[in-house]
Structure 1
Amino acid sequence: MNTNQLIKVLLISAVIMGSNQVRSQNKSAQLSYKASKEAILLGVYHFDNPGMDTYNLEIDDYFTKKRQAEIQEVVALLAAYKPHKIFVEFLPGQQPKLDSLFALYASGRLTLKAIEGGQNEVYQLGFRLAKQLGINEIIAVDHPGVFLAPYADFISDTLSIESYQEYNKAYNQQMEKRQKDFTENTVKENLIHLNDWQQILNNHNYYNNIAITVKDTANVMFGYQEMEMEIDGLLYQMRSFDFNNIGVALATEWYRRNLFIYRNILEQTEDNDRILIIFGSGHLRHLHQFFDDNPEFKTVATNNFLNK
């Protein structure tokens, strides 16, 4: 290739690259133009240990002077975001109760300690922050879901599925370490850990790469028969779930529940809203995906605030 040909090739390449850059900038500008709402997702652990997760941390008394100071530190950091609305992991049917309790708390007629289950993060973080910022309502947007993990455990144990059992063993060891760390760390440190992006992906790994592989190859669950029995103390109702493909059913149900939560949030947002979503950290991967894929929303990294 002579010098003139080389110059022509370089000029053409420069034009193409410039054109691609302009298209990319235009696309970013279009998305930015559409983003009339902003969201921050705070993944939490359950301060009152309701025993609803696969592994439940034993939480110490969060009404001690030390823990209350730690919680107030987190609230002060979140207040810097200045959300207009706060969405929490309560079912919409619980909204009247939530409204009544918050009205009493905000007016100084009720303390968090006087609320049954007042150690819950919805009260400790949501109520405190809303009162501090003058927000009038904490919005319940959770959706009921079917928890199929015990059935995947049962099938894996019955069929001796080694990969699943090895994961469970490693996971339990990891949770034992988390138990120790979460007891020793501050609330802020615990939340920073849960909202780290790599930790969010690690948490979601169970659904994508472990549970989804489990199949009932020996027909342990008797196909699609309607029946009732107990497995590990849980009522077993077959209904319409494909237990022969329990892993896919499990991942599907979890995705479905988070889609409903996402829709509940969308129905309660308006242009120029800046929202805070307080949910168990297991929900983060799907919720981030939904909001990141929505051009009307700009998502803000939670740890940008918690690390200050």
Structure 2
Amino acid sequence: MKIKIIFPAIIIMHLMGNTIFAQNNSKTEILLVGFDHLSQMDNGTPSSNIFTSKKQKEINQITQKLKAFSPDMIMVEKEPKEQSQLDSLFRSYKNNELQLSDIEYGTSETYQVGFRLAKLLNLKTVYGIDHYESTSQSLLNSGENIELFKNGLMELINTARPLKKSVQQDSLSIYDYIKTINQDKFIKLSHRLIFNLPAYVINGEFSENGTNTVDIGEIDKKYIGAEYITLFYNRNLKIYSNILNTQLKHNSNKILLIMGQLHIGVLKDLLEDNPNYKIIDASTYLN
């Protein structure tokens, strides 16, 4: 007599999951480094110019520190559709046919750190994993409990702005600035402002003066703060998808991700829940 064995769906899913992870039990290491965009550092004063000898030495210090991680892939804040342009620029730069000062927005961390480090490590290229959408903090400025959000915004501004000003005045090095804003308390401060505090805000409207390039359609004004969080989270989910699929395509083992600091907290949350990844703390190398 034949005996039929029926497995509950949850058991089948568990067994399948174990099989998948058994086939991919080596974790990809990923080091996330957040930047206050270097291309926005220049305020017109000589001391704020990224191409001064002093600031170039400070950027080289960042590059040398991150070189010790020995990534086999560097991901930058460019969209995948820009990859062919990135490849062409990097090829010329690697062959000493192009200077960073010759590149449009060559002051950005994509080039100043990403290109520089990829050349030092003799990598093939750097990879764009961004999904560009723009939403400003000024978009959310009305509703019940709006002061909780505005107070958080002022705390971040009052913490970060003096540091940036010190860099522009040459009293704080770019290296020390980037090292500081990658500390856990600074990551949590910016993450809380974008992905936590806005949820307190209800019964409001988005400002007509705020910047937003996302097609948001109809919004629920009762949960205006939650709607605001959704705009940022949606972009970062797409960036996360680009990270996963770029790694999968090229089978990299050690990734350096260079992004604006506001992205780091949410991307860490997503990657921490992915069993195929191991997050390396930035302080391990920026020490």
TM-score after normalising by structure 1: 0.76
1:71 aligns with 2:59: yes
1:60 aligns with 2:60: no
Task: Answer yes or no: is the 8 Å Cα contact 1:215–1:243 preserved in 2.
Answer: yes
Q: Which residue of 1 aligns with 2:149?
A: 164
- Aligned mates of 1:47, 1:104 — CA distance in 2: 22
- Aligned mates of 2:132, 2:214 — CA distance in 1: 17
- Aligned mates of 1:50, 1:94 — CA distance in 2: 24
For residues 78-97 of structure 1, the aligned pairs below 5 Å read 78-97=66-85
Q: Which residue of 2 aligns with 1:286?
A: 266
> 1:267 aligns to what SS in structure 2?
helix
Task: Answer yes or no: is the 8 Å Cα contact 2:134–2:214 preserved in 1.
Answer: no
Task: Answer yes or no: is the 8 Å Cα contact 1:148–1:250 preserved in 2.
Answer: no
Cα deviations by residue, 1:204-227 (Å, 9 ceiling, x for unpaired): 11134421211235xx56xxxxxx
After superposition, the Cα gap between the structure-2 partners of 1:261 and 1:236, relative to the gap in structure 1 and judged at 3 Å, is: closer
> 2:217 aligns to what SS in structure 1?
coil
- Aligned mates of 1:144, 1:67 — CA distance in 2: 28
After superposition, the Cα gap between the structure-2 partners of 1:189 and 1:237, relative to the gap in structure 1 and judged at 3 Å, is: same
Cα deviations by residue, 1:170-197 (Å, 9 ceiling, x for unpaired): 4433343233333321121111111111
1:180 aligns with 2:165: yes
Q: Which residue of 1 aligns with 2:191?
A: 204
- Aligned mates of 1:79, 1:172 — CA distance in 2: 31
Task: Answer yes or no: is the 8 Å Cα contact 1:151–1:246 preserved in 2.
Answer: no
Deviates more, 1:126-135 or 1:245-254: 245-254
Which residue of 242, 262, 266 corresponds with 2:244?
266
- Aligned mates of 1:198, 1:49 — CA distance in 2: 23
Deviation at 1:234, TM superposition (A): 7.0
1:194 aligns with 2:181: yes
Find the structure with the greater CA-based Rg. Answer: 1
> 1:268 aligns to what SS in structure 2?
helix
Q: Which residue of 2 aligns with 1:249?
A: 227
> 2:203 aligns to what SS in structure 1?
coil
RMSD: 2.9
Percent identity of paired positions between Structure 1 and Structure 2: 29
Deviation at 1:61, TM superposition (A): 0.7
> 1:294 aligns to what SS in structure 2?
coil
> 2:285 aligns to what SS in structure 1?
helix
Counterpart code for 1:210: L
Q: Which residue of 2 aligns with 1:4?
A: none
Deviation at 1:257, TM superposition (A): 1.3
> 2:232 aligns to what SS in structure 1?
helix
Q: Which residue of 1 aligns with 2:94?
A: 106
> 1:39 aligns to what SS in structure 2?
strand
Number of paired residues? 261
Task: Answer yes or no: is the 8 Å Cα contact 2:202–2:222 preserved in 1.
Answer: yes
Task: Answer yes or no: is the 8 Å Cα contact 2:138–2:211 preserved in 1.
Answer: no
- Aligned mates of 2:216, 2:235 — CA distance in 1: 19
> 2:124 aligns to what SS in structure 1?
coil
Cα deviations by residue, 1:149-177 (Å, 9 ceiling, x for unpaired): 32212x25xx7843333334444333432
Task: Answer yes or no: is the 8 Å Cα contact 1:35–1:295 preserved in 2.
Answer: no
Cα deviations by residue, 1:35-75 (Å, 9 ceiling, x for unpaired): 43111111111001199xxxx9x992110000111111111
Task: Answer yes or no: is the 8 Å Cα contact 1:34–1:296 preserved in 2.
Answer: yes
Cα deviations by residue, 1:241-287 (Å, 9 ceiling, x for unpaired): 33442210111221221111111111111456111100111111111
Which residue of 37, 40, 44 corresponds with 2:28?
37
- Aligned mates of 1:105, 1:306 — CA distance in 2: 26
After superposition, the Cα gap between the structure-2 partners of 1:283 and 1:235, relative to the gap in structure 1 and judged at 3 Å, is: closer
Q: Which residue of 2 aligns with 1:302?
A: 282
